[in-house]
Structure 1
Amino acid sequence: MKNASLFYKFLFCTVIILNGYSTVAQEKNNLLSAYQNYTGNPREVAYLHLNKSTYIKGEAIGFTAYVFDKKDKKPSNLTTNLYVSIEDKNDKTIAKKLIRIMDGVGSNTFVVDSTFTSGYYKIKAYTNWMLNFNEQNHYVESIRIIDPDTEEFISTETASNELDAQFLPESGHLLHGVSNTVGVVVKDNLGYGVPYIEGTVFGKNDEVLTSFKTNKLGIGKFPLFAELNTGYRIKLKHGNKDFDFNLNQKIEEKGVVVSLNRTKSKVFISIKTNTESLDFIKNKNYNLLLHNGDKSTLMDVNFTDNTTVTIGIELASASSGVNILTLFNENNQPIAERLFFKYEGINLLKSNEISTSKTTDSIAVALNFKNIDADALSNISISVLPEATKSYNKDHNIVSYLYLQPYVNGPIEQAKYYFTDIDAKKQFELDNLLLTQGWSSYHWNTIFNAPERLNYTFEQGIRYKVNINSSSNELTSSYLMHAVGETDPQTFRVNRDQKNFMIDNVFPMENDRLYLSKVKSNGELGPAKLYIQSFPSAIPKLSAESDYLNPKFDYNISTSLNNAIQFEKLNDMQQLDEITVSTRVSKTKTRIQKLGEHKYGKIKIVEEIDRMTFNTLTDFLHFHGITSDESEGGFSLFVGSKPLRNNSTANYGAVTLKHRSSSPPPTDIMGTSEVRVKPMAVFLDDIQLVDHSILNQYPLNNVDYVEINKRGIGGGLRGASGVVKIYSYYGSDLQDNRKTGQGFELPLAFSPQKIFYVPKYQYYTDDFYKQYGTVDWKPKLVPDANGNIEFTIAKPKVPVTLFIEGSVSDGSIIYEEKSIALDLHY
């Protein structure tokens, strides 16, 4: 009996212990499960490379948009729709655009027009998918607009000799009886860090405990062995004046703090408590989670007889960028957090020395990125500004916005500083910054209570629901969506009982209309009785609150705005010229002006004299510099006015133009005897044609006017070789093409890429130009197979700086600033 009793006691204890282990394991699983469920969905990060941060009214805001996969830091291929908006200080939207992103990159401009007044504005960029999450994955930054009509001088607010000091304990707690580290942030009345402040810490009876000095951004730290019932005072020296501050942090009698030390290869995390707390937390199961929104590692923390538990982590096992250490108590409640940064593994590409050469009126600039992967997709954007510019005061660059900002709460002043000329000092200063940040942007209340279903989807183009208004006796009906924007024509077959069908991944451009036709049983097209719904139908509002800093200027700047700026905008210039000579213009010119509004090409109206002179559309277009190929019943158009002899068969991809006679080959439009060229895109009455043969030997009597857009501006990829739009003459005996389809106005469309117009200045050597002028903006440069990029700029009369940013599909990032001391005798 005695042995049986001992056996049952042993069995009972074993069950209790195993049950305890099972409970601990389950709690760990719950913690990891909640975290992985929240972070399992992909994330994107948006960034805009702006050509400047300060603009004069009338200038253009040039930007290149980069969208990244947050986890692997590579350009995102998930979303094609990026929303970019500009808001004033009252959060009123002043301008907005839908930008198409391809391979993670897009570009566009905003004109600083009459809707802007002097002041600060915030520019935002975000995808629909980003609206699901609390972290600041979207882009927001402040820009300044200056209106010369209301500001005679460019001036800045003067910072008063007052300080705002914050003292922030490491991991968010100041614990009695242990050595703590306290971060210091000193700002002026405008919210900017005050550099090189010297501070002294006083304890009981004004005993000097330690001293410290902030860095150039007003950040520092000091050690403090905190004791209860002790008032700590900090004295700061600034501008020949002393400032006294109380520590203003509660000293906790019991608790746990996390501190961090690192070597070249390891990170040591110390979880510290005091003797007052040890008996309370002894043998309780705490957990330390190392994570970054993607990878995670959970580690046991168990206090025994010592007040400190130290865990060493190989730096090689940590993720590149921000790493987050979160300490959980026995109830899985997060109680402390510390962030650290790993630079290793971030692939920053640098270019070789710049080479320049002069041409007649410009400078050719060449850069080489020798380490770039020639097989990877890449894009580089470059802002060219005078070397003495004061208009490029951005807090972020592409590296800081991708690797740092999405992981912290609140704005970071001059975040790009930590990723420029990186050395041991910068790494130390970044760690001090993260020490003062407290909790990361991953909110644990949200993680533990994350919704099962996300409300906002990835968007790839625009989706249309086409509702059928008419009934049909046919078993099936067919409908044709004509080509629109950069989307090819599509045919849809629907059953008799279907009331609607969906059209996915459409990329219309502003001013485009969507044309739908019903395909009749004999193959002819007719108007369709339909109505459509667009998804999305409007640019969504980004409701997430984001703190940001206005561009920082040197204090007491005062620059005269006496340098007249002349802005060249083609349509505005044409309109001004015609208004000026309105008493002499012909009706033709007036009509050209009206038809040319919001058009990218040149309008050519077919007059009676043209109808008498030219028999066919081909002859008329050739006269205006367009070459045609009508061989074998086809019809293709190419930029250039030289005729093609014995033309090749026309088709609608890239074609090879070959000379087929026995005589010596003539020089074709490209100056060679054989060259692959792509035909121009052709529209008839705003509907893009797939089969161009209808225009073979097309009578000019059927044409009212033509829009010729040789550069294909606004036409997207389909218009890369140019665009010709032909509009029917209503007096012709041919059927109007617009009557074969039903046209729909679109509530939302993509903004076509715009040419960036460089302002013309009256003076190119005065202080205004040096500080606020624009030399050029190159939004989309692609390296060749050897990593070379080349571009030209107008000959500057002052030294210039290139602000270079870019991305590569293998995850490499490009950021650098390079100055060119130009020969002023060019």
Structure 2
Amino acid sequence: MKLIITFFSFLYCLQSFAQTTSNQDKITKYLNDYFFQDREIIHIQFNKSLFTNDEDIAFKGYILSKNNNIPNSNTTNVQLVVYNEEDQIVEKQLLFAQYGVFSGGIHLNEKFKSGKYHFHFYTNWMNNFKEDDSFNQTIEIIDKKTRYTFETKEPDWKTAEISLFPEGGIILNDIVNTIGIKITDCNKTGIEIADGIILDSKSNEITHFHTNQMGYGVFYLKADLSEKYTLKINNDKLKITQPLGKIAETGLILSAPNNPANLNLLVILKTNEKGRQSYQNKKFTVLIQQNGNSMQQEVTFNNNKTEQPFYFDKKYLSNGVNAIRVLDEDLNEITERLTYIEEGGNPSTTLNAKTMSNDSIILSGKADVNKAYLSISVLPEKSVCLNLKKTILGTFYLNAYLEKPEPDTYFYFNPDNKTRRKDIELLLLNQNKGKYLWENIKSGPPKISFEFEKGVTINGKVEKELKPNSNNKISLVALKNNLFEQTTIDQNNDFKFEHFFVQDSTVLALQMTNEKNITVTTKIEARIARNEPRFVLGPSFEKTFCPVIKSADNVFDFQPPKVKASELKEVAIKNTFKKEVFTHKSDMSLMAKAFKFDGKEYRSVLSFLSSNGYNAGVSPTDFTVYVKEKRSSFLGESASSPNIYIDNFLVFDFNQLFNITLDQVDEIYIDQTGSSDTSITGHGTIKIFMKTGQSNNYFKPKFTTLIVTKGFAKNLNYKTAPFENQDEFNYFGTLNWSPNIELNDHQDFQIKIPKNQQKEIQVLIEGFTNDGQLISEVKKVSVGGIF
């Protein structure tokens, strides 16, 4: 009989082992399937958070691959939508990303009234997932014509609310419970208190608690099912009394007392005596996981103990927030707890004021990393615009895994915060759950319905009927961007250019050529075909739910602009100069030189251009006409050509200029800056206007022009705004914005700032390396002693 019992016990053990192995495999498969498709997350650094209404808002974007923890170089299209306080869209931009970074900005105009604006950044690919990895940021714009009243940092004490977060979601009878507490006002601003207490039914003080400046705290309570507990706060600013809540007879609690100094993470699965009896012979799996990276252990209560401790080696866990889950034998989640892993330090930089040239200071920096992308904002010592809340560390390590993103992550990574690791654990204790829900993971991999957008598409149709099996092609040219592409025309006379990277306002020319590469005149219709993808989950703004408290004693009045005027004595002037009237001057910028011709000059246009800033003539090698900037003698074939227009038609074949003489020309405008052109400035613009009645058949264009309107946003040429006095600049000005710093082989960089009567400056540095290390620092640099 004993042998039979042993045999069946052996079979039971085998069955249990098979069950365990099967569950482990299922868990691994769930995670691998759900996180197989790479996800991207975006962080944005703004040059500051408060802007006057005549400034440039500037930003730098960083895109991280969640699966690989490195810059996501696959992303090219990033969508920006800007909303006002009434949730109305005031601006849209398509931003071009390369190597996981992008930069841009907005020139403020009349669309941007005084108030707060919500910037929402996302990609179309993000729409495939149930979790929100987009980026939201709120900035404020103020009108210099009105008095500005600063917001107070004081919370609205009258609207204080208390939320409790016991480990395991329950307060369990007859054990010591760890209970998180969060106190916030109606705008979710944290409230710090130092004198909270827990009372029993006889008003005896059982325990006490306090909260940090973010409103988070913790207290410990050995609960008694027969007792009723009360939470009480009684001080000058806040008086609250509320019941603690129901005590559970039994259940499971997951505790993770994370000690950063230990190499192993201690996790404890706890129950009470009644639970120990109920859970005998039941197996649970404790899973710790971030994305697809995971570790798991099986646990039972068969040793007659109510606490089951075990350890996870931190070196196998991912930096940042990790979710710890308890799963039953059917792989249903019983409870969840978040913890934070931080192994190894982040790269750091050094920054010194090196030398001064005239009124400028050279800031010399060095980082202990290679191949990094950095962005740097430099503000005056007294600036009120550095309301730093979101950092790249907080976005990628914290908010990437929280169900509700924390609006102020800098607090948790500020090196001056000596309790920051404790504060991170308090934050994670006071969460109901993480971003990735176990039920979603179990439900299967995400359905991929939204494409990974790259560039824009140009669709078009030619009017001329083509012969069957025609080899005609469409050529697309953007002269100033050195772009040249060709594509075929299908049987329906349609053509398409896909994955085209082109900025707004770029002038494109399209023409059809036959099999002999000869231009064929035909009408061509073309347009930019791009879906402007909406974000399926919708933007989650940091909205205010009650009026923000303003400080009546903290206001600022801007000085009205100075108007320079002088009184002139009455002077009689006799004008004998005959003013030339330029018909097309409004077509050009102020940088253009204008020339008027009376029909009595017979030089060629090429000769005229040669006398006015360009090398022009006929190439002796291929006998084609060229017009190049004067540097062509040094640059040779690489010298650039200007955009040349005849009667506002862009000339692509310069041979059309060969026979034109000045007696046929009414006006010529030369703008070597290129600012007269609708396309990107670069190599100059020349516009030739023919005399009325002049035959132009020989330069009739054989192409169609298209001005891009749904392409990528134009590059921001960032400029600082003027201020009327030093106080205005000290509070609201910007000393430097450098969004595109790439470290050289010596790991150093330099930026130049104006001295501007500063004794100390504030420098915000953010960025990441090619291998995914994150950099986020705020430095104060003394510059008062630089001479």
Given the two structures, how large is their TM-score scaled by the length of structure 2? 0.86
From 611, 614, 637, the counterpart of 1:651 = 637
Residue 259 (1) aligns with residue 255 (2)? yes
Residues in 1 aligned to 2:774 and 2:661: alpha-carbon distance in whole angstroms: 55
May I ask how many residue pairs the two structures share in their alignment? 759
Between 245-254 and 803-812, report the one with greater CA deviation: 245-254
CA contact (8 A) 1:81 1:99 kept: yes
Q: What per-residue deviation string (whole Å, max 9, x for no partner) do you get for residues 130-175 of structure 1?
A: 1222333111011112123454544559644333222211243322
Deviation, 1:259, is 0.3
Residues in 1 aligned to 2:555 and 2:600: alpha-carbon distance in whole angstroms: 59
Residues in 2 aligned to 1:710 and 1:688: alpha-carbon distance in whole angstroms: 14
Residues in 1 aligned to 2:252 and 2:27: alpha-carbon distance in whole angstroms: 20
Q: What per-residue deviation string (whole Å, max 9, x for no partner) do you get for residues 642-701 of structure 1?
A: x76xx478434xxxxxxxxxxxxxxxxxxxxxxxxx636756679999987877898676
Residue 279 (1) aligns with residue 273 (2)? no
CA contact (8 A) 1:714 1:753 kept: no
Q: What per-residue deviation string (whole Å, max 9, x for no partner) do you get for residues 365-395 of structure 1?
A: 22122x221xx2x332211211122212132
Between 49-58 and 169-178, report the one with greater CA deviation: 169-178
Q: Cα 1:230–1:536, aligned 2, differ >3 Å: closer, same or farther? A: farther
Aligned position for 2:762: 801
Between 228-237 and 137-146, report the one with greater CA deviation: 228-237
Aligned residue runs from structure 1 range 255-654, under 5 A = 255-263=251-259, 264=261, 265-304=263-302, 305-345=304-344, 348-369=346-367, 371-373=368-370, 376=371, 378-421=372-415, 425-450=419-444, 453-466=447-460, 471-484=465-478, 488-494=483-489, 497=491, 500-528=494-522, 531=525, 534-538=528-532, 540-541=534-535, 543-548=537-542, 558-564=554-560, 591-596=584-589, 602-608=591-597, 612=601, 615-617=604-606, 619-620=608-609, 623-624=612-613, 632-633=620-621, 647=633, 650-652=636-638
Give the AA of the match of 1:457: E
Give the AA of the match of 2:116: Y
Between 529-538 and 194-203, report the one with greater CA deviation: 529-538
Residues in 2 aligned to 1:543 and 1:621: alpha-carbon distance in whole angstroms: 59
Residues in 2 aligned to 1:64 and 1:412: alpha-carbon distance in whole angstroms: 21
Aligned position for 1:114: 110
CA contact (8 A) 2:401 2:436 kept: yes
Aligned position for 1:669: none
Question: Which 5+ residue runs of structure 2 have no aligned equivalent?
Answer: 564-576
Q: Cα 1:22–1:151, aligned 2, differ >3 Å: closer, same or farther? A: same
Residues in 1 aligned to 2:301 and 2:562: alpha-carbon distance in whole angstroms: 72
Residues in 2 aligned to 1:801 and 1:613: alpha-carbon distance in whole angstroms: 63
Deviation, 1:335, is 2.1
CA contact (8 A) 1:565 1:760 kept: no
Residue 42 (1) aligns with residue 38 (2)? yes
Deviation, 1:331, is 2.2
Residues in 2 aligned to 1:713 and 1:591: alpha-carbon distance in whole angstroms: 14
Give the AA of the match of 1:137: D
Give the AA of the match of 2:484: P
Between the aligned residues of both structures, percent identity stands at: 20
Q: What per-residue deviation string (whole Å, max 9, x for no partner) do you get for residues 595-639 of structure 1?
A: 44xxxx944445327994974447537634x56797645777776
Residues in 1 aligned to 2:352 and 2:607: alpha-carbon distance in whole angstroms: 47
Aligned position for 2:83: 87
Give the AA of the match of 1:123: F
Q: Cα 1:565–1:753, aligned 2, differ >3 Å: closer, same or farther? A: farther
Aligned position for 2:231: 234
Deviation, 1:78, is 1.0
CA contact (8 A) 2:120 2:539 kept: no
CA contact (8 A) 2:506 2:708 kept: yes
From 737, 740, 749, the counterpart of 2:702 = 740
CA contact (8 A) 2:178 2:219 kept: yes
Residue 216 (1) aligns with residue 213 (2)? yes
Deviation, 1:258, is 0.5
Please report the RMSD computed on the Cα atoms of aligned residues, expressed in angstroms: 3.9
Aligned position for 1:177: 174
Deviation, 1:53, is 0.9
CA contact (8 A) 2:325 2:335 kept: yes
CA contact (8 A) 2:320 2:340 kept: yes
CA contact (8 A) 2:504 2:709 kept: no
Residues in 1 aligned to 2:765 and 2:562: alpha-carbon distance in whole angstroms: 27
Deviation, 1:15, is 6.8
Aligned position for 1:655: none
Aligned position for 1:191: 188
Secondary structure, counterpart of 1:740 in structure 2: coil
Q: Cα 1:233–1:696, aligned 2, differ >3 Å: closer, same or farther? A: farther
Give the AA of the match of 2:33: N
Aligned position for 1:823: 784
Residues in 2 aligned to 1:87 and 1:320: alpha-carbon distance in whole angstroms: 34
Secondary structure, counterpart of 1:389 in structure 2: coil
Secondary structure, counterpart of 2:477 in structure 1: coil
Residues in 2 aligned to 1:283 and 1:441: alpha-carbon distance in whole angstroms: 32
Deviation, 1:763, is 0.5
Aligned position for 2:572: none
Residues in 2 aligned to 1:610 and 1:778: alpha-carbon distance in whole angstroms: 52
CA contact (8 A) 1:467 1:500 kept: yes
Residues in 1 aligned to 2:26 and 2:320: alpha-carbon distance in whole angstroms: 27
Residues in 1 aligned to 2:500 and 2:540: alpha-carbon distance in whole angstroms: 32
Give the AA of the match of 2:404: G
Q: Cα 1:423–1:684, aligned 2, differ >3 Å: closer, same or farther? A: same
Residue 782 (1) aligns with residue 742 (2)? yes
From 693, 716, 731, the counterpart of 1:771 = 731
Secondary structure, counterpart of 2:71 in structure 1: coil
Q: What per-residue deviation string (whole Å, max 9, x for no partner) do you get for residues 726-779 of structure 1?
A: 445456766687732234455511111121121111111x2x433222233222
Residues in 1 aligned to 2:659 and 2:62: alpha-carbon distance in whole angstroms: 46
Aligned position for 1:708: 672
Secondary structure, counterpart of 2:585 in structure 1: helix
Give the AA of the match of 1:315: K
Aligned position for 2:121: 125
Secondary structure, counterpart of 1:753 in structure 2: coil
Q: Cα 1:292–1:553, aligned 2, differ >3 Å: closer, same or farther? A: farther
Q: Cα 1:629–1:525, aligned 2, differ >3 Å: closer, same or farther? A: closer
Q: What per-residue deviation string (whole Å, max 9, x for no partner) do you get for residues 72-124 of structure 1?
A: 33221111111112112222111121111111222122123212222222111
Question: Which 5+ residue runs of structure 1 have no aligned equivalent?
Answer: 568-583, 653-677
Residues in 1 aligned to 2:96 and 2:507: alpha-carbon distance in whole angstroms: 18
Secondary structure, counterpart of 1:332 in structure 2: coil
Q: What per-residue deviation string (whole Å, max 9, x for no partner) do you get for residues 435-476 of structure 1?
A: 112211112333333565312111111133445666422413
Secondary structure, counterpart of 1:431 in structure 2: helix
Deviation, 1:272, is 0.9
From 95, 98, 104, the counterpart of 2:94 = 98
Residues in 1 aligned to 2:61 and 2:548: alpha-carbon distance in whole angstroms: 23
